[in-house]
Structure 1
């Protein structure tokens, strides 16, 4: 066995151990459900949590709450000082888990559907045919040539819009803006021959890829986008901004970080005010720069 093979095995062993530690919180089936309920109730007492959860025994709930407090995911406070009534709340560490829970829920719902629906907005038929060929085995694909047609046909049954910026008639940028007016939760992937520039900060798209794109790249970006579908508006905005930063770095290298557009994105991230743990939990959904 070669040294390189040993190193690969060692790296894999370390990665497996990391996954085991990362998913430890899911080893008890009630942990994620308790976290979800405490968040939805914006802090709750034992009896309030128990009333919502069917099928959980008093011991299971007590053990689950104790485990999560020991892990630093939950904390306890008194409802009224001196009342003796304990309220469970999420810590910052616990709030950092919420995007992961929402992503799991979105993954489950997506794979319960018949097929994810993709609209390709592209005026070059050859490009549209290539994208359709890449995606038609995994998704329900619809193709339109013009921005006007895309706006007219768009509805909330469409999961992702793949959009060229340079269209005949109204531009892809205008189409993105109009679709977001129709549905602020629409997921839009810009796929364009145009290099991203300082105006990327203002584009109403969720991700940006430059042509040509490979089959693996387009599918990877789509899955990352679809995993955002159940996230909060703040989390989705964070990911949109980070994806725009990644697009600039892909196009221009490290010098992109000095560009006005990149700095504009940084300002947007600061305004969102997400905690460090929340940002860390979301970053795996950003395409690699």
Structure 2
């Protein structure tokens, strides 16, 4: 049985100032996702701006820029993934206002971190699939109703084409059954008789 190529796996970014801890968690996630590791908050934001990150695993307590500060600045980066806090800080009521999707208290067992990442990949995959279906149905209607020469130079149409391709690629990376779902969607007759 062949292993899945890394480019076919979800992309996770692990951020922890303790190099040994970060590297240990990265090893636990091997084979589940393509994992990038950085050791401070500023490097995390730079990585997020440069690459499409699906899952962000983030420590709260780091020198310089804390994980809490990274969370606050995520909207500026255009980040559209899911966030799992992986931290030794015991949660208090402050977490109620924090924009994360899961919270794991260190030390984290191998199966727990793998299960949390898998769950968030599935959630993100279905969110992405919903966005894809919406954009793809618009694209399909335009392609059915308007000739190629009218579509070729239309900026909004071209943006939808690019968006559907990006979303399809991401959903495929995140969901094992994505191709079946695409086939069902594409089998629906959308033009009038």
Q: After superposition, where does 1:38-187 map in structure 2 within 5 Å?
A: 114-155=8-49, 157-183=52-78, 185-187=80-82
Correspondence for 1:219 among 114, 117, 121: 114
Q: Which residue of 1 aligns with 2:85?
A: 190
Give the Cα–Cα distance (whole angstroms) in 2 for the partners of residues 199 and 169 of structure 1: 20
How far does residue 182 in structure 1 lie from its aligned partner after superposition? Answer: 2.1
d(CA) in 1 for partners of 2:27 and 2:113?
12
CA distance in 1, matches of 2:54, 2:79: 13
Given the alignment of the two structures, is residue 200 of structure 1 paired with residue 95 of structure 2, yes or no?
Answer: yes
Change (3 A) 1:182 1:219: same
Matched, 1:209 2:104: yes
Cα displacement (A) at 1:130:
0.9
Please give the TM-score of this superposition, normalised by the length of structure 2.
0.59
Any stretches of 5+ residues in structure 1 without a counterpart? 1-110, 234-289
- 2:46 counterpart SS class: helix
* Corresponding residue SS for 1:153: helix
State the TM-score, normalizing by the size of structure 1. 0.40
On the 8 A contact 1:179/1:186 being kept in 2, the answer is no
User: How many Å separate the matches in 2 of 1:116 and 1:232?
Assistant: 14
- In the aligned structure 1, how far is the partner of 2:46 from the partner of 2:94? 26
Instruction: Give me the whole-angstrom Cα distance separating, in 1, the residues matched to 2:81 and 2:24.
Output: 23
- How far apart are 1:231 and its partner, in Å? 4.6
Query: Once the two structures are superposed, what CA deviation does each residue of 1:175-221 show, in whole Å capped at 9, x if it has no partner?
Result: 01212332353211000000110001111211101000011000100
Q: How many residues align?
A: 125
Gaps of 5+ in 2: 129-193
- The answer on whether the counterparts of 2:32 and 2:114 sit within 8 Å (CA) in structure 1 is no
Could you say which structure has the larger radius of gyration? 1
The Cα RMSD (Å) is 2.5
